[in-house]
Amino acid sequence: MENKKDILSRTYLVYIFLCVFAIAILYKMCIIQFKEGSEWKAKAEAFNTQVHEIQAVRGNIFDINGNLLATSLPYYEVAVDINAPSIDKKLFESKVDSLGTMLSELFKDKTPKQYIKLLRKARKSGDRYVVLKRNVPYKDLQTLKTFPIFKKGKRGGLVTLQTNKRERPFKMLAARTIGMARAGVKPVGLEGAYDTVLMGISGQRLMQKIAGDVWRPINDENEVEPKDGSDLFTTIDINIQDVAENALLNTLIKNKASHGCAILMEVKTGEIKAIANLTRDGKDSSSYSESLNYAIGYATEPGSTFKLASYLAVMDDYDVNLDEKIRVGNGEVTYYNKTIRDAHPPETPMLTLKRAFEVSSNAAAALTIVKYYSKNPQQYINKLKSFHLNQKLGLAIPGEANPLIKEPKSKDWSGLTLPQMAYGYESLITPLQTLALYNAIANDGKMVKPRFEKEIKHNGKTVKTFTTEVLVEQIVKPETVKKAKEMLEGVVENGSGKGLNITAFKVGGKTGTAQIAKVGVKRGAGKTAYGDVGERNYQASFVGYFPADKPLYTCIVIINSPSNGIYYGGLVAGPVFKEIAEKVYSNSLDFIEPLNTKKQILTKVPACVKSRNDEIVTASKAFKIKVKSQVAENNYVVKNNDDTLSISLRSANLENQLKKGVVPNLNGLSAKDALFLLENSGFHVKLYGMGSVKKQSIEAGKKFNKGDKITLILS
């Protein structure tokens, strides 16, 4: 009995404890619910709602002609509040099937049944925010607004959140120069340089956290509206950029090169019209992309293009003439057991300074600089500094490399430094710095700062205009500039750049071929920092200006590590320069002299016009020019008569004759048309004189074979 009483007493004790505990919980619930309810509701509301930042629409980047280089396209997160008060049961039931079908057809990620099931489930569970699709483009959003239920507008339950995605319409073209700017990532290019200008001012929107860690907007309107960014107009011409990039790409592929760059700059203003930087995607790959900005961010030993700086120094400091003789012997000179060699044996043991520059003699450059500056090397260094080669150009674009011009007092200065600096070694400069120096010579000695920016606009109104900044008013004396131009033009006419073979206009420039030092390889024990012969990497370059008589543009091309057996600058980089220069020349009105109508009166029709017969007849009637005879429809050679007020059409059918292997009568054809027809048919053509064809070395009517040579005498 006593055990039973003991058990019951313990049971009652536990029961009483549980009752008290339950009463305490109930009491606390009442306190929280009724006395502290408003306080806790406010805290819960604060925890589940936040003010979110709304990104402003980033400003656009344009080329100089107004073509879009970078823009922000809107994308949307699309959700539905299918339980909105305006969507009653009748509306929902009548339209849910068609809405599900149309969502499936638009997004193509779910079947109609899956969308209908999703909508019905949300309706049943009372969900007020169901995400349908993320990253919806603007065009699809406009389509979405026409769907059943959604077309009721704000009352249709459609909820959208806008985000902006940066796009480059021209994809790879100038991609590294355009660059990017993202949080937590190092800024690159113009996007990074003008981030604060382009980004605008963010807005604010009150959001509520709901199930599944999803945030939905509480109000239809923003708390603070964002302010869009300004637009940046650049100096880049996307058409020239396309030419430069394609020319560079084709040469890189042809020469199996590691990477390369090409820059085109306007002489007077310093405006960069094109800048291409291409890097091979893999060691054995034939595809290239714009991943690194070599033109700005990498300083290397320039090689022979640096000889211009050396000769400018000695001509300006000591008034050295172009006909000064330099004894180069067999093209070798030795300093402290280091032999400096020319790439090719010299024509004669004695070269003039001009000829030494034209053939790019390393020995001559070393001998000249040592002769004049060995007693005072600091004078040479100071001259190079006056060319701004020892400091950055101060570009807005981030990542400009630090140049290196050694000082005689520095620890790594040796007896070899002066002679090796003379021809482009033991110094580091970027391709853009080299271009700026050559541009100064083309600009009669005035060095201007290269720039990529034209103006900044906001809502169509100009906020800031960028003007030309002069770095040095006159880098050398006018007499020195004149000598330098003569040397540079001589390189292309008679020297290492002769292979350019540009006939339409004159060019001044310099070739360069530099050995690239290998990382981790030290001098000594039979080795050099450039590796053994046969295993060395090279940097081929060409830099110059055109047209030489009135320079409008300067251009530099650098090809790194060509591995197809050819590595000389004139042969590897020169063709890229030529293609860019010729296409710019042929497509630019800047090269055309303005017509002086007071002095020139056009009275004569062209000597020879290529056109279809019916087109010529129509044009002749419009200009009231008498046509003396007509021939078959496909004949197109037209020749004017001596009286200049009438034209006659003569039967030629030249292309058909050439296709049959017969030489036609070319008399009267313009040189351009004759050249076009003959070269397309496989002839090697030589022209003498100007004007139209007067005589031909192979008589009309004779058979020919592809590869035959024909000479045309012009009137």
Q: How confident is the model at residue 62 (pLDDT cuts 50, 70, 90)?
A: very high
262-317 pLDDT tens trace: 999 999 999 999 999 999 998 778 899 998 999 999 999 999 999 999 999 999 99
250-265 pLDDT tens trace: 999 999 999 999 999 9
Question: How much is the pLDDT for 649?
Answer: 46
Question: How much is the pLDDT for 619?
Answer: 67
DSSP-assigned letter for residue 564: S
* Helical segments of 631-702, H only: 654-659, 671-680
Q: How confident is the model at residue 595 (pLDDT cuts 50, 70, 90)?
A: low
145-166 pLDDT tens trace: 999 998 887 677 888 888 888 8
Q: Is the peptide bond prior to 575 cis by the omega test (within 30 degrees of 0)?
A: no
95-113 pLDDT tens trace: 999 999 999 999 999 999 9
- Summarize the confidence of residues 566-589 as an average pLDDT: 89
Question: How much is the pLDDT for 41?
Answer: 64
Neighbouring CB atoms inside 10 A of 681's CB total 19
Which has the higher per-residue pLDDT, 677 or 513?
513
Q: Give every CB contact of residue 356 below 8 A, 6+ residues apart in sequence.
A: 326, 328, 364, 365, 368
Kind plus residue range of the DSSP H or E element containing 611 = none
| Whether the predicted pLDDT of 461 surpasses 60 | yes
d(CA 182, CA 578): 38
d(CA 111, CA 113): 5
Structure tokens at 710: 């024909």
Query: Is 400 in contact with 393 (CB distance < 8 Å)?
Result: yes
- Summarize the confidence of residues 117-125 as an average pLDDT: 91
Neighbouring CB atoms inside 10 A of 45's CB total 10
Task: Name the maximum alpha-carbon separation found in the chain.
Answer: 150
| Whether the predicted pLDDT of 89 surpasses 60 | yes
Q: Which of 32-36, 518-522, 531-535, 590-594 has the lowest mean pLDDT?
A: 518-522
What is the residue type of 652?
A
Query: Is 647 in contact with 641 (CB distance < 8 Å)?
Result: yes
Tokens 């590796």: give the residue: 531
Question: How much is the pLDDT for 223?
Answer: 65
The full 3-state SS of 398-446, as one line of letters, equals CCCCCCEECCCCCCCCCCCHHHHHHCCCCEEECHHHHHHHHHHHHCCCC
Average pLDDT, the chain: 84
Give all domains of the chain, ordered by start, each with its CATH number.
Answer: 73-178+204-227 (no CATH), 241-590 (3.40.710.10), 608-714 (3.30.10.20)
Query: Is 126 in contact with 211 (CB distance < 8 Å)?
Result: no
| Whether the predicted pLDDT of 490 surpasses 90 | yes
Beta bridge partners of 351: 326
Which has the higher per-residue pLDDT, 289 or 677?
289
Question: How much is the pLDDT for 580?
Answer: 96
| Whether the predicted pLDDT of 245 surpasses 90 | yes
Question: How much is the pLDDT for 629?
Answer: 47
Which has the higher per-residue pLDDT, 681 or 309?
309
d(CA 95, CA 116): 10
- Summarize the confidence of residues 501-505 as an average pLDDT: 87
- Summarize the confidence of residues 382-400 as an average pLDDT: 95
Question: How much is the pLDDT for 684?
Answer: 80
Question: How much is the pLDDT for 625?
Answer: 61
| Whether the predicted pLDDT of 608 surpasses 50 | no
346-387 pLDDT tens trace: 999 999 999 999 999 999 999 999 999 999 999 999 999 999
Query: Is 413 in contact with 388 (CB distance < 8 Å)?
Result: no
- Summarize the confidence of residues 44-68 as an average pLDDT: 79
1-21 pLDDT tens trace: 667 777 777 787 888 888 888
d(CA 423, CA 425): 6
d(CA 288, CA 252): 8
| Whether the predicted pLDDT of 573 surpasses 60 | yes
| Whether the predicted pLDDT of 400 surpasses 50 | yes
Question: How much is the pLDDT for 43?
Answer: 53
DSSP3 helix / strand / coil % (the chain, rounded to 5): 35, 25, 40
22-53 pLDDT tens trace: 888 888 888 777 777 776 665 555 457 777 67
d(CA 198, CA 438): 33
